[in-house]
Amino acid sequence: MSSHVQLFSKDCSSVEAAAREARHLQTLRGPGIVPLQEAGAHGLALEKAACSLTDVLHERGPLAEREVRAVGAAAAMALARVHDAGLVHGDVKPANLLLSHDRELWLADFDAACPADGRPLERFSPGMLPPGAPARFAADMAALALTLVELSTGIRPDPGASWRAADLRRLGCSPALSAELSFMLGGDGAALRAGRAARMLARGGSDSLPAPAANAQRADSTPTVEFMAARPLPDSSPRPAQATGAPPPRWWQRLAASWRPGDATPRTGGRPQAQESGSSQASRSS
């Protein structure tokens, strides 16, 4: 190991979890995957990144389309390597996409990674995949598409809703990007392979990754938790403050303003939901 490499220590929930993640990282070692330097009984020593895409989003706000495309193309190429190994990452989100000090993009945190056997994911991040999402490649592609929507607009879409290109345009994505992300979400019933998604997104240039954030907090607003199908999942999405009279968060106001009467059916808690027509993301990922 080179003496100039900075390390980041990651604690794992158990000896088994540490061994499993180390095994995945050793199998996938190469471009696009966070480098593993050492594996211990209860944790891992990883090469330290400059920041995560969550840090960039919090510091700068929504990214330019060329940057979103560059992130998407690089992440899709990393996912292609994961899928070629027969694995599903299971937890694609901005906090798990890291920018290295050499301006490369790394896919990190393989806590939820598992074989692509179609069984419900045992671990997940609330708000990034619908409960009970099956361990299939399409789940990773849907999560990547919604991650790119968040990077493009600052809005985290509901993963259980059906997002068409017109819906994504109303959130603030460009027409071309909206069509491509809707395709990645499986709106036509097809599951787009990661390699093809990388080529599609790279047409806007793959050398435009965003600059790292000046203050890297590695904050993760959607931590990975154990999936427990026997109990209802709490809605982890921020809600507008009502009891105190404080105004709703800016992203909530923008999301609410993007819907016209008749476009959505509100559900409990006031979160907008996509039109009733079309299948949900959970069924698209199956």
Whole-angstrom Cα distance, residue 284 to residue 191? 8
Domain 51-231+240-265 has CATH 1.10.510.10: yes
User: What's the distance, Cα to Cα, between the start and end of the chain in Å?
Assistant: 42
Indicate the domain borders of the chain.
Answer: 1-48, 51-231+240-265
Mean of the per-residue pLDDT values for the chain? 77
What pTM does this model have? 0.76
pLDDT in tens, 32-64: 998 877 666 667 667 888 899 999 999 999 999
272: which 2 tokens? 């907008």
Whole-angstrom Cα distance, residue 284 to residue 153? 23
251: which 2 tokens? 């992203």
pLDDT in tens, 76-108: 999 999 999 999 999 999 999 999 988 899 999
22: which 2 tokens? 């180390």
